Structure 1
Amino acid sequence: MEYFLGIDLGTQSVKVVCYDEEGNFVALASREYSILTPTPGYAEQHPETWWEKTREAIQEVLATLPEPTIRALSFSGQMHGTVMLDESLVPLYPAIIWADQRSHQEAREIREKVGEYLKLAGSDVATGFMAATLLWVRRNLPDVYRRVRFVLLPKDFLKVKLGLPPTTDVADASSTLLFNIRLRNWSEEILAALGLDRAIFPPVHESTQVIGQVARNVREELGMKGPCLVVAGAGDQHCAALGNGVTDEGELLVTIGTGGQVFTPITQPLVDAKLRIHTFCHAIPGFWHLLGATLCAGLSLSWFKKSILDSGTHVFDFRNLDQEAQKVDAGCNGLLFFPYLIGERTPYMDPHARGAFVNLHLTHQRGHFVRAIMEGVGFGLRNAVEVFRELGVDFQRTVFSGGGARSNLWRRIVASILDMPLFTTQVREEAATGACILAMVGSGRFGSVDEATRVLVQYTHPTLPDPAWVEVYHRLYQKFQKGYTALRELSPGT
């Protein structure tokens, strides 16, 4: 029996899943690590820590197998971040990850210098994206910048530790804002306009392409028997889409994790003229995708629980809060929540946006606040879906994923706000499973991503919209849309 590994290098942990050659789930291991904030607004991690934790998780998975023969492995990873390596492929500085906020000035400069080229990249620039981060390093850490030989995205550092030369893939690279999404390669125009040396950017491969093998000494260190192919991989959003079976036009993935995302594949590189959403290359050759994001989805509920409700030894349970929210009518007696706790992406691309509860009344209880947060996040996701529709994109099937999908109430709320049936999958660790799908396709076990997902991904019965809630939420959404402008006038960034 041969096995396949999918490795998901997330923001807070690495997860390794194993499937056998028949597409059966075999094993899962994970390891956690921290985000370092040496200065407020900074978000860093040590690349060597990623490798240490990944190595441990792989070894744990291999120890469960009757025969540790891995035919192929591939990667999913947190997107946008920057790993800088010297001539010896050693990190010069901690990885500056997607959540980093230090490059506001550089993001503004990029808009000024290459504004006309942003449509080549398919997206507006944001702090934490590689483009803005590299300009910050060049300005503030010139000694580090002068020694940079390669810049990599986070998961691509793990390939180097497996013994491969620096490489990346079209899907993840397209999230750097330094990429031409139509040509599926680095943008010569953007790099020249920003004064960045093309030589420090690695070769680019399609996500399903075999890029080499795990080095013999690394296999011995891991306890892996026999040759193991390495397949290029993709970003976590791309792999999560594969792990949820979202592989074709007319399919929509809605995710509520720490943040919230909506993702749909497209067969042409359609770019929003207002750059309210991202257009990136997909992990499937010949496909692109649209991506809309709300920054504080599950994070809004976690913030409310930890910062407002929890006190001393009394810690609230999410399940109990969910039950309290179920007792509240749709619309929360007029209470509206705007989830702009750290700014907002789609459709405003505004780091200075601020959140609020609006229409407070003495009759509002804890359950009202919890449900209002769930509804506000749902309205934020609808903002992105409406941009998709404005661009002429529509959907025949919608899949709901992430921690929020485990709440029956949140599923019903989102289904009713979007007025769509929501399917969920029985897949464990969708992004890591998506990476495993890439490994299976790249190594020839399956002939296509579609063939692989038909075997690995099964759906549950859909959660249907509640007709009464649909009507309530349609009215409330009209009010929600007006809230951003009103709140923006009160925010400290004005």
Structure 2
Amino acid sequence: MSKRHVMAIDAGTGSGRAIVYDLTGAVIGSAQEEWVHPIAPGVPGGLDFDTANNGALIDRVIRAAIADAELTAADIAAVSTTSMREGFVLYDAGGEVLWACPNIDGRARAEADKLTRAEVSDQVFRIGGDWVSLTAPARLLWLRENTPEVIERASHMGMLSDWMATRLTGAYCTDPSAGSSSALFDLQARNWSDTLFEATNLDRAIAPRVVEAGEVVGQVTASAAARSGLREGTPVVAGGADTQLALLGLGRMAGQATLVGGSFWQMTVLTDRPLIDPGRAPRTLCHVRPGEWMTEGIGFLSGFALRWLRDAFLDPLLKTADSEINSFDLIEKLAVKVPPGAGGVIATTAAPMQSDNWHQPPLSFLGFDLNAPGPAVGQLARAVMETGAYLAHAHLLKLEELSGRRYDTIQFTGGSARGGLWPQIVADVTGREIEIPEVKETTALGCAMLAAVGAGLFATTEEAIGAMTSSIERRVRPDPAKTVAYRDHQNRWAEVTLGTAAMSEQGLLEAIWRPAGAKSTEMTPIQKV
């Protein structure tokens, strides 16, 4: 039994978790705790990443996962880390955290606007594949202008997956998949871009060393072992960004399309070259495997919207009734009774990705019929699910246009793929067959594969994929009649989404998010299907 298990540690948008795997890819033990990101006092749009409390949470879930697996720390051959993209941490020369933010921090609006007016944002997109709305250039400039003492003391920078590895080892490094989400990377070179650091007037010296995913970056220190319950000296292996590791966990290769359904939804394709959209809609990042890149369209909070619906409507009622019913099971049971089109209800929770102008409409539900029988929660839930599918479809069509190919089959992974209804809606809206893998949480599985390679338990990443990738649990085929019907529903949703965005611009409603550094103050029109 000894040394035949590895651990993945995952800092997601909404939670931190640790999962122990064996070498077949089976989960042996796990632990997870939800977290929230505190609002930065006096900073409009600012959200902090609480490294003290979140670090303690990570330590707890590591210890709890080992206990849940009924193993000892000595049985863990290696650990690796993964996280949400874009968020990063700054350290002083002694390794103390000076500042940290999650991916959804939006404080640097003015700085992003300055970069756009100076046409630096265009340069960042051409070289780094992403815009400046939620990436490091604008945030670092905000720090320089608002808290210059932080920038003056900063000696090291790391993405959030790097932060967890640094807590365990004291080493500073990143991999291309996480590092490229900073928008300070040269995608072609798979390394930091001197040109972008110079263009944004930032100090290249704070950037960590770049290693490829699967390399050992250090060992668990004595202090980290005491905090977390890991064994001192356990190898810590470079992991990477959550979406790319989800694709690795699925065993996906260049030329395939995958929908990753977590708090945000990512419709992705893998290519053997950086695929930069001249229209700056989807973005491109490095994949974890050398020689591969990922282009994605992001569904803003598609999965989180259903969690919000649960927290806002169902959980308070279920707790009052002292019910043991699983709230997500109840949501699906109510939504499945509602026909396509959600009985006329439209949820405006997000808009298709437009990197340089990604306005998000006000969270709204429109079109209720007061004379309709039955609980309206089912319509709300179905409308949220359909919006997620509409966004995925819009992104799929754009990715097919860019790549010059059609993707007849889409793998759907992540928490949103667990039920029966949502995958069926995605199949019906897109008109494509959906494959659901047995293992839904493939981000952590991909991370575990890298840990196993770094520990020498597999000779190559391909060998780890062959041994640990799960088979397809089920296939969901579209209903052709519903696919045709959904075209009108999706086009209606597009018009209503633009309409609510316009009301936001008029000051009548509050947008869920306004982009920093946008090319325009108005939302980009949504393409009809």
TM-score under structure 2 length normalisation? 0.85
Distance 1:210 1:199 in 2: 22
- CA spacing shift, 1:472–1:5, aligned 2, 3 Å: same
Q: Which residue of 1 aligns with 2:29?
A: 27
Q: CA deviation at 1:241?
A: 1.8
Q: Which residue of 1 aligns with 2:382?
A: 371
Is 1:467 the equivalent of 2:480? yes
Q: Which residue of 1 aligns with 2:527?
A: none
For these two proteins, the number of residue pairs brought into alignment is 489
Is 1:345 the equivalent of 2:345? no
Distance 1:361 1:224 in 2: 56
- CA spacing shift, 1:364–1:306, aligned 2, 3 Å: farther
Unaligned runs of 5+ in 1: none
The aligned amino acid for 1:433 is L
Q: Which residue of 2 aligns with 1:110?
A: 115
Q: Which residue of 2 aligns with 1:152?
A: 158
- CA spacing shift, 1:218–1:332, aligned 2, 3 Å: closer
Distance 1:448 1:264 in 2: 23
Deviations 1:147-204 (A, max 9, x none): 1111111121222222232111110010111111111111111111111010011111
Distance 1:333 1:208 in 2: 49
Is 1:124 the equivalent of 2:131? yes
CA contact (8 A) 1:265 1:290 kept: yes
Q: Which residue of 1 aligns with 2:413?
A: 401
CA contact (8 A) 1:96 1:133 kept: no
Q: What SS does the aligned partner of 1:250 have?
A: coil
Q: Which residue of 2 aligns with 1:299?
A: 304
Q: CA deviation at 1:308?
A: 5.8
2:194 to 188, 199, 203: 188
2:448 to 424, 431, 436: 436
Q: Which residue of 2 aligns with 1:11?
A: 13
Q: CA deviation at 1:253?
A: 1.9
Distance 1:237 1:381 in 2: 15
Q: CA deviation at 1:20?
A: 2.8
Q: Which residue of 1 aligns with 2:283?
A: 278
Distance 2:81 2:231 in 1: 20
The aligned amino acid for 1:30 is Q
Q: CA deviation at 1:297?
A: 1.1
Q: CA deviation at 1:352?
A: 5.0
- CA spacing shift, 1:70–1:326, aligned 2, 3 Å: closer
- CA spacing shift, 1:217–1:37, aligned 2, 3 Å: closer
The aligned amino acid for 2:183 is L
2:334 to 324, 346, 351: 324
Q: CA deviation at 1:309?
A: 6.5
CA contact (8 A) 1:152 1:168 kept: yes
Q: Which residue of 1 aligns with 2:505?
A: 492
Distance 2:26 2:499 in 1: 52
- CA spacing shift, 1:296–1:224, aligned 2, 3 Å: closer
Q: Which residue of 1 aligns with 2:255?
A: 250
Q: Which residue of 2 aligns with 1:88?
A: 94
Distance 1:36 1:264 in 2: 33
1:263 to 264, 268, 286: 268
Distance 1:205 1:35 in 2: 29
CA contact (8 A) 1:6 1:73 kept: yes
Q: CA deviation at 1:347?
A: 6.9
Q: CA deviation at 1:72?
A: 2.1
The aligned amino acid for 1:486 is G
The aligned amino acid for 2:448 is C
Q: CA deviation at 1:112?
A: 2.8
Distance 1:32 1:311 in 2: 18
Q: CA deviation at 1:125?
A: 2.1
Q: Which residue of 1 aligns with 2:65?
A: 61
Distance 1:99 1:166 in 2: 23
CA contact (8 A) 1:5 1:16 kept: yes
Q: Which residue of 1 aligns with 2:490?
A: 477
1:203 to 192, 209, 216: 209
CA contact (8 A) 1:254 1:401 kept: yes
Distance 2:408 2:464 in 1: 21
Is 1:52 the equivalent of 2:38? no
Distance 1:52 1:204 in 2: 27
The aligned amino acid for 1:435 is C
Distance 2:16 2:357 in 1: 29
CA contact (8 A) 1:219 1:225 kept: yes
CA contact (8 A) 2:246 2:260 kept: no
The aligned amino acid for 1:459 is I
Q: Which residue of 2 aligns with 1:215?
A: 221
Distance 1:393 1:349 in 2: 26
Unaligned runs of 5+ in 2: 507-521, 523-529
CA contact (8 A) 1:76 1:434 kept: no
Q: CA deviation at 1:6?
A: 1.2
Distance 1:301 1:403 in 2: 11
The aligned amino acid for 1:37 is I
Deviations 1:46-73 (A, max 9, x none): 2233332222332333442157233222
1:41 to 45, 48, 51: 45
Distance 2:440 2:391 in 1: 26
Distance 1:131 1:335 in 2: 40
Q: Which residue of 2 aligns with 1:380?
A: 391
Q: CA deviation at 1:443?
A: 3.3
Q: Which residue of 1 aligns with 2:511?
A: none
Distance 1:307 1:334 in 2: 22
Comparing 346-355 with 51-60, greater Cα deviation is found at 346-355
Q: CA deviation at 1:223?
A: 4.8
Distance 2:446 2:26 in 1: 14
CA contact (8 A) 1:42 1:102 kept: yes
Deviations 1:51-107 (A, max 9, x none): 3222233233344215723322211112111211001010113x1111112111122
TM-score under structure 1 length normalisation? 0.91
Is 1:418 the equivalent of 2:423? no
Q: What SS does the aligned partner of 1:76 have?
A: strand
CA contact (8 A) 1:347 1:387 kept: no
- CA spacing shift, 1:327–1:185, aligned 2, 3 Å: same
CA contact (8 A) 1:62 1:68 kept: no
Q: CA deviation at 1:9?
A: 1.6
The aligned amino acid for 2:418 is R
CA contact (8 A) 1:124 1:276 kept: no
